[in-house]
């Protein structure tokens, strides 16, 4: 399904799964912290400019 439908996502027990156009699987998780025995969601941090996602780099085999 993820490969066939570009914007598809699957909600699983470990998070929401999506696939990039290169075929990589990504998982988005919710994070929580327990306070007095009750889980409280931790908000997503706002990335700084230097931490913004960059396109994946292709790797080449090492030459001997």
Percent composition of the chain: helix, strand, coil (DSSP 3-state, to 5)? 5, 30, 65
The tokens for 28 are 């988005």
What are the pLDDT digits (tens) for 1-60?
Answer: 666 677 788 887 888 888 887 888 888 888 889 999 999 988 877 666 655 555 554 555
CB 19 within 8 A of CB 10: no
pTM for this model (two decimals): 0.46
Q: Indicate the domain borders of the chain.
A: 1-42
**In the prediction, which pLDDT does 55 show?**
53
């Amino acid at each position: 399904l993820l490969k066939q439908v570009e914007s598809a996502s699957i909600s699983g027990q470990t998070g929401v799964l999506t696939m990039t156009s290169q075929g990589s699987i990504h998982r988005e998780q919710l994070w929580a912290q327990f306070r007095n025995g009750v889980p409280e969601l931790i908000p997503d941090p706002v990335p700084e400019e230097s931490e913004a996602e960059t396109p994946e780099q292709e790797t080449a085999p090492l030459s001997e």
